[in-house]
Amino acid sequence: MKQWKRFKNSYFLHSFKRDRVAIVSFVVLLTLILLSILAPVIAPHNPYDTTTIDIMNAEMPPSWMEDGNPDFVLGTDIQGRDLLSTMLYGLRLSVMIGCGAVFLQAIIGIFIGMISGYAGGKVDAFLMRIADVQLSFSTLMVAIMISAIFQVAFGVGRYEQLAVPLLVLIIGLAEWPQYARTVRASVLGEKNKEYVEAARVIGLSSKRIRWRHILPNTMSPVLVISTIQVANAVMSEAALSFLGLGMPVTKPSLGSLINSGFEYIFSGSWWITLFPGILLVVFVLVINLLGDWLRDVLNPKLYKG
């Protein structure tokens, strides 16, 4: 109760209530996440259930157009699946993979950043060089490379079976340097402050100082980049799936849906590409807007560049 009161009077909530863009994006984001979690309940059809799919329904336009079927509000895709349901399930996959990947990169990045910043010296120089080199290759390139290698190593069939955990792993491995650099920068700022010295004087172990004292104080920049990183991870997942290195067509994410629709855009079936595309853009956009707002409010010293 007390915490709630503190939250109610905080600057954080105050500035949130004054920023219309933040409110709208938050509401949209919440709705999209709810929709994706509840996809099995609200979706009118089950796109994974092959017995209910009829190929005769393929490429039906949205219901308000000619030849539209009121059964399929946004039309159907090339396999005769209801587009709206497939999109909801796809969004669910994208959100799952995005959050999983960010969780993984946060764990790797915070761990490495903490060691690097606290230890300093040679260890720091070595770890940060690795991070720099990997970043200079761009996260998308690294992700594409790793997934290409995985796909050749596992074979297409097995890769598609394991697609979700593999994508989490790939995107997690590709983007950890962002976290490592951010955490390191704030650890460097914190470690010479008086409270750390005080803790050291009391005789606490350096492990305890690192994880219980310094870590909580590095959390606000981590929070800021986490929002942007979710957007990035969702984009990376979409890009990989679009290239055929991600989710298979039988279990499409938004990226693979766009990819499957692209082949039919020349015959005029624009809806298979457009609707999943809009959903993806809106999802990523609201996260980016929220991230921008969060950065302005918390105003941490972020690693530039």
Partner 1 sequence: MFAFAVRRITQAIIVMLVIGLLGFSIKQKIGDPVRDIVGVSVSVAERDALREELGLNDPFLAQYVRFIKNAVHGDLGMSFFFKRPTLEVILSKAPATLELVFASSLIIILLSIPLGIYTAINPRNLPSRIIMGGSIVGVSIPVFLTAIILIYIFAVELHWLPSYGRGETVNVWGWESGFLTLDGLKHLILPSIALSSIMLPLFIRLIRSEMMETLETEYVKFAWAKGLSRRRIWFLHAFKNTLLPVITVGGVQLGILIAYTILTETVFQWQGMGFMFLEAVERSDTSLLVAYIIVVGALFVVVNTIVDLIYGLVNPTIRITGRK
Residues engaged in binding partner 1 (CB under 8 A): 129, 133, 136-138, 140-141, 144-145, 148-149, 151-153, 231, 235, 238-239, 242-245, 255, 258-259, 262, 265-266, 268, 270, 273, 277, 280-281, 284-285, 288-289, 292, 305
- If the CB atoms of residues 57 and 292 are measured against partner 1, the closer one turns out to be 292
Shortest distance in whole angstroms from residue 148 CB to partner 1: 5
Angle among Cα 283, 259, 278 to the nearest 5 degrees reads: 25
Phi, psi of 45 (to 5 degrees): -130, 165
Mind spelling out the 3-state secondary structure of 25-78? Answer: HHHHHHHHHHHHHCHHHHCCCCCCCHHHCCHHHCCCCCCCCCCCCCCCCCCECC
Q: How far is the CB of 153 from partner 1 (least distance, A)?
A: 5
Cβ proximity to partner 1: between 178 and 273 the closer is 273
Closest to partner 1 by CB, 118 vs 275, is: 275
Taking each helix axis from N to C end, the angle separating 139-154 and 219-242, rounded to the nearest 10 degrees, works out to 50
Q: What's the distance, CA 248 to chain centroid? A: 19
Pick the closer one to partner 1 by CB: 144 or 209.
144
Which lies closer to partner 1 via its Cβ, residue 99 or residue 148? 148
CB of 46 to partner 1, least distance (A): 27
Tell me the C-alpha distance between 211 and 111, whole Å: 10
End-to-end CA distance of the chain: 41
Give the three-state DSSP class for 82: strand
**Smallest distance, Å, CB 285 to partner 1?**
4
State the minimum distance, in angstroms, from the CB of residue 125 to partner 1: 9
